[in-house]
Structure 1
Amino acid sequence: MTPQNLVVARSAAFSTNSAFRALLTEASDATGEALETLLSEISTMNVLLYPGPNGDPLALAVYHRLDSYAVEIEYLAVAAALRRRGVGLALVNKVQELEMAMIVARTDDDAIEFYRVVGFQCSASATDPRWPENQRYLCVLPFLPLVQEPLEDDASVQWVQPVPQPMQIELVPPQESWARDFAKVKSLIKQTLGARALAVQHLGSTSVPGLPAKPIIDIVLTVDDPAAEGEYVKDLVAAGFALRLREPGWYSHRLLVSVGQGVLPAVNLHVLGPGSPETSRMRSFRDWLRMHDTDRDEYARVKYLAAANINEHGGGLVMDYNAVKEPFIQALYARIFAS
């Protein structure tokens, strides 16, 4: 069943409704004083309701804006009698239709299968102090128009480290050590940032078995707000990274790199916010190449040709190398999104 008469309201308007409170307890485990505190915390958030015959809600999604391209569903609950009938999916789809945004949800093992089945990209996340014994996940439902039409790279890149100079592009055959290198750095980042590291993902060419790559591990670190550098940069610097650049107009992207030979593998650490379309694009590209050997091998051929083209002219910047690959990448993205 797909509900057709969904209602958008403010959470505060239903704070005394017993059915609403029961659904919120189902979604949060909060009762008594904790429930009253929760109701106060979400009072200004939007709520999408599926009302029953008497007007009492039978399902709800409480959500709010994160930024210009993402909203977060804080709580999602469906009455027991309506479960496995498409109501939860209808709520998620309606929120996305209304907001025209990426949808972010944080969940645990009890609900992770629902989010995976309906198309969310899910990653292991930091423990939530409210449920310290549960594995948590950060899940993102892509909004195709935002993923298909990414922001142009910010022209006003703010270089913190020296501006890169042209150099030879080095590609090496795929290495089994790359997965181990990622695991080592992921563990370090999680130890360093704790709950501030919402997700740590291995993306880029070194994350695809069988694909040659520059010998640098590309990692995407998700934090609540990449622009709030005081929340994470100092600690990462102490752990062996250096802030390389800022792109405030391109998803608030920050780039850190590993420093100190022999201590850490070579790493590009991209910092983005939850629900960033760029993270979703990178993950979609990685997952496709992992599952389609023919496209992976063709991409390998394109990479070698691009590197040779740059090197034959005395070297260049990584952006020059990427520009040569761009026609293949865009054509492959078109097929990924069409599927």
Structure 2
Amino acid sequence: MSNIHDESTWPIWATEEVEIEEPNQAWLEKGEREKQLLLDLLDPIGIQEIEHYGSTSIPNLPSKPIIDLMAKVDSFKSLEDKALSILSNHNWHYVHPDLDQRPWQRFFVKVSNNKREAHLHLLLKGDDRWDKQLLFRDRLRSNQDLVNEYAKLKRNSAVKFKNDREQYTKSKTEFINSIIN
């Protein structure tokens, strides 16, 4: 078995550069399509609530062109293998929790032409991250000044952390927390 921490064995999409694109209305439509596709695929295993969140769900916000979705699950243990079995037939790739380093979620990446197309975050029912993600999304949707401020931060962080997705994400934490709190 290969070492999952050996970056030389990772697929191209796992180490993509951070690239911010201008806002695109099609992201909202694509988010709804992906959400519906996932609901159709995952409803038989009890996943009935999925939300499009993240930057592509906010009008007028520059973003990485990757649709972020989250789904509520009762248990990782009972669903992880079932979801993997279903999603792997639809270009979704599982990112092991040891790599993701977020034990509170299970993470899948939809890939097309060696590029990330969408992310699916499975969260446990009752996890307050669900409500916080939606609160952040909805506050930005209702305040263009916050969108503009966040856009500036995202662009600057994308330049500074072009080759480090984790640091790019961490660089936005203070702003996100200030909106949530």
TM superposition score category, shorter chain reference: 0.7 to 0.9
The whole-number CA distance in structure 2 between the counterparts of 1:168 and 1:258 is 16
The whole-number CA distance in structure 2 between the counterparts of 1:279 and 1:217 is 16
More helix by percentage: 2
**Map of 1:299 onto structure 2:** 150
User: What are the within-5 Å matches in structure 2 for residues 42-61 of structure 1?
Assistant: none
In 2, are the aligned partners of 1:192 and 1:239 still within 8 Å (CA)? Answer: no
**Map of 1:178 onto structure 2:** 27
| Counterpart pick for 2:57 among 201, 207, 222 | 207
User: What are the within-5 Å matches in structure 2 for residues 1-339 of structure 1?
Assistant: 162=10, 164-165=14-15, 168-195=17-44, 196-228=46-78, 229-246=80-97, 250=102, 252-261=104-113, 266-310=117-161, 315-334=162-181
Q: Deviations over 1:29-65 (max 9, x none)?
A: xxxxxxxxxxxxxxxxxxxxxxxxxxxxxxxxxxxxx
Q: Which has the larger radius of gyration?
A: 1
- Relative to 1, partners in 2 of residues 1:291 and 1:259: Cα closer, same or farther, differing over 3 Å? same
In 2, are the aligned partners of 1:251 and 1:273 still within 8 Å (CA)? Answer: no
> In structure 1, what residue type is equivalent to 2:73?
V
> In structure 1, what residue type is equivalent to 2:32?
A
In 1, are the aligned partners of 2:71 and 2:120 still within 8 Å (CA)? Answer: yes
More strand by percentage: 1
SS in structure 2 at match of 1:299 = helix
> In structure 2, what residue type is equivalent to 1:294?
D
The whole-number CA distance in structure 2 between the counterparts of 1:297 and 1:193 is 35
The whole-number CA distance in structure 2 between the counterparts of 1:249 and 1:170 is 22
Residue 249 of structure 1 deviates from its aligned partner by 8.2
Unaligned runs of 5+ in 1: 1-157, 335-339
Residue 178 of structure 1 deviates from its aligned partner by 0.7
TM-score (norm. length: structure 2) = 0.82
Residue 251 of structure 1 deviates from its aligned partner by 5.4
Residue 231 of structure 1 deviates from its aligned partner by 2.9
Q: Deviations over 1:274-319 (max 9, x none)?
A: 1211111111100110111111111111111111222xxxx32211
> In structure 1, what residue type is equivalent to 2:155?
Y
- Relative to 1, partners in 2 of residues 1:212 and 1:279: Cα closer, same or farther, differing over 3 Å? same
> In structure 2, what residue type is equivalent to 1:277?
D
The whole-number CA distance in structure 2 between the counterparts of 1:253 and 1:279 is 11
The whole-number CA distance in structure 1 between the counterparts of 2:166 and 2:22 is 21
Identity %: 26
The whole-number CA distance in structure 1 between the counterparts of 2:18 and 2:87 is 27
How many pairs are equivalent?
171
Residue 221 of structure 1 deviates from its aligned partner by 1.5
The runs of at least 4 consecutive aligned structure 1 residues that moved more than 4 Å come to: 247-251
- Relative to 1, partners in 2 of residues 1:260 and 1:168: Cα closer, same or farther, differing over 3 Å? closer
Higher RCO structure (Cα 8 Å, ≥6 apart): 2
TM-score (norm. length: structure 1) = 0.46
SS in structure 1 at match of 2:113 = coil
- Relative to 1, partners in 2 of residues 1:265 and 1:187: Cα closer, same or farther, differing over 3 Å? farther
Unaligned runs of 5+ in 2: none
Q: Deviations over 1:187-231 (max 9, x none)?
A: 221221224222110011101011110010000022221232123
The whole-number CA distance in structure 2 between the counterparts of 1:304 and 1:218 is 18
